[in-house]
Amino acid sequence: MIRNILPPVVDEHTRVLIVGSMPGVQSLEKQQYYGHPRNHFWRIIGSITNHAVPESYEERLQLVRQHGIGLWDVIQSCERIGSLDSKIKNEIPNDFIELFTRFPQIEAVFFNGTKAYDVFQKKIGFELLTGREYYKMPSTSPVPGRNIKTFEQKVEIWRMLEKYI
């Protein structure tokens, strides 16, 4: 079993939560959300917030916090060889009921990719967690999938975040 060691990046100012599936190998090694240098996540956030992407991870976290954006993953632990979402099995989810009880001001959840959305729907469900909006977004991963989009197309779709920040 691989255990997700990244704590949620959430505080009393978080209005929107971006939820991934499970960090890849490199992100877990670095202990950073979206730690692979080719992942488009931080560039997309920079484009949406009109800020240059900071070099340091701490400054990147500060950037999302300043805009009321939180980060977490659906999966607490799973079996997976490599980093691909398609290789994930036997998922155990994080405790979103506890998180939303502690931080009821979160208005929207943006799922970073299909796997995050599907695991959330299957293991947790939307019925228990009413009172906020849920959005399935294109993955920020550069790995081609079923619905390949350019960086520019991803930015345009992810601009839905602007409503909350």
> In this predicted model, what pLDDT tens digit does every residue of 123-141 receive, in sequence order?
999 877 788 999 999 999 8
3-state secondary structure of 62: helix
Burial class (CB in 10 A: 0-12, 13-18, 19+), 136: middle
* Mean pLDDT (whole number) for 148-157: 93
pLDDT of residue 89: 80
Catalytic residues: 39
> In whole angstroms, what is the distance from residue 14 CA to residue 21 CA?
19
pLDDT of residue 144: 67
Q: pTM higher than 0.75, yes or no?
A: yes
Cβ–Cβ under 8 Å, residues 52 and 43:
no
In the CATH hierarchy, which top-level class contains the domain 2-123+132-163? Answer: alpha beta
- Tell whether the torsion through CA atoms of 131, 49, 62 and 118 is positive or negative: positive
Cβ–Cβ under 8 Å, residues 80 and 27:
no
